A and B are shown apart, each in its own frame.
Chain A
C-alpha cells in the first residue's frame, strides 16, 4: 500500500565517513518525518518537514541533517559517522490535514545503519 522508499536497506560503514540515507515517496505528501529506532524498539522523532524548504528538528537531538528541496525527497545526512549513530532509521510521510485520514503516517521499510 505504501509508496515510500528508503535506500539503502542495510549499510555498514567505517567511522568518519559521510553518509546519506535516501527517502522518497510518490504520494505527493507534504509532511515527512525521520525516526530513529533503538534496539529496544522505541521510536524517536529526529527531523520533520511540512513542505519544501521547511525542516525542523524533532524531539531527540541528532547530529544528522536533512533537506527538503523537492516534495517527494527527504534525505538524511551524517557528515561524520560514529559508532553511536548505529541504529535503525525510519522515514514516514502523511498528506492528510484532517478528517478521516488524519494521523495515518506511511512508513518506509527502514535503513539499518552500522558504524564500525
Chain B
C-alpha cells in the first residue's frame, strides 16, 4: 500500500534560516505529490503540488521537486519567516483510475516554529 514518511519534528529555526523538511514515499504506479500546511487553529490548505517526475512545485517561497529515483519530495525554503510557523504535511495520491481512488495518504506532519 501507499505510505509517506516525513521528517519528525519539531523543527525550530531562527528567522531567515534555511528550511528543509524531508519526505519520502512508497506507492504503486505514478502518484501525485503534495505539501499541505496547517496554521494554528485552522484546517489544512494546499501549499504546493507536483504531478510527475522532475516537476517542481512552488508557492510562497517554498519549493519541492518530485524525485522518482529517490522517491522523495523534500520541502525547502531559503529564508523562513515567523509567519511560516505551522504544521507541514507531505501527501500523495494515486491518479484516479477506473476504481476512482480519490483519497490522500498523509505523512505524520512536522511542526515548524520560527523565532524572531
Which A residues are within 8 Å of any B CB, using their own CB? Answer: 1-2, 4, 31, 33, 40-43, 45, 48, 50, 90, 92, 94, 97-98, 102-105, 107-110
Instruction: Please name all residues of chain B whose beta carbon is closer than 8 Å to the beta carbon of A109 when the two chains form the complex.
Output: 41-43
Which of A42, A48, A104 touches B46 (beta carbons < 8 Å)?
A104
Q: Are A90 and B44 in contact (CB under 8 A)?
A: yes
Chain B: number of interface residues, binned into ranges: 20 to 34
Q: Which one, B32, B34, B45, B106, contacts A2 given CB within 8 A?
A: B45
Q: Which of B49, B102, B106, B111 interacts with A94 by CB under 8 Å?
A: B102
Check B43 against A103 for contact (C-beta < 8 Å).
Answer: no
Selected from A33, A97, A103, the residue in CB contact (under 8 A) with B32 is A103
Check A97–B46 contact: CB distance below 8 A: no
Q: Is the CB of B93 within 8 A of A102?
A: yes
B93 touches A42 (CB 8 A): no
Q: How many pairs of residues, A versus B, come closer than 8 Å at their CB atoms?
A: 62
Main secondary structure of the interface of A (DSSP, over half): loop
* Candidate in B32, B44, B106 with the most chain A CB atoms within 10 angstroms: B44
Is the Cβ of B43 less than 8 Å from the Cβ of A50?
no
A108 touches B43 (CB 8 A): yes
Of the candidates A45, A50, A103, A107, the one whose C-beta lies within 8 Å of that of B93 is A103
Closest chain B residue to A4, Cβ basis: B43
Q: How far is the CB of B47 from chain A (nearest CB, A)?
A: 11
Using a CB–CB distance below 8 Å, which chain B residues touch chain A?
32, 34, 38, 41-46, 49, 51, 87, 89, 91, 93, 95-96, 100, 102-104, 106, 108-109, 111
Q: Are A107 and B43 in contact (CB under 8 A)?
A: yes
Residues of the B chain whose Cβ atoms lie less than 8 Å from the Cβ of A97: 96, 100, 102
Q: Please report the C-alpha to C-alpha distance between residue A31 and residue B103 in the assembled complex, in whole angstroms.
A: 10
Which residue of A48, A90, A92, A98 contacts B96 across the interface (Cβ within 8 Å)? A98
| A92 vs B46: C-alpha distance when bound (angstroms) | 12
In this complex, what residue of B is CB-closest to A40? B108
- Chain B positions within 8 Å of A94 at CB level: 102
A110 CA / B44 CA spacing, docked (Å): 9
What's the Cα separation between A40 and B96 when bound, in Å? 30
- A1 contacts which chain B residues (CB < 8 A)? 45
Partner of B34, one of A92, A103, A108, A110: A103
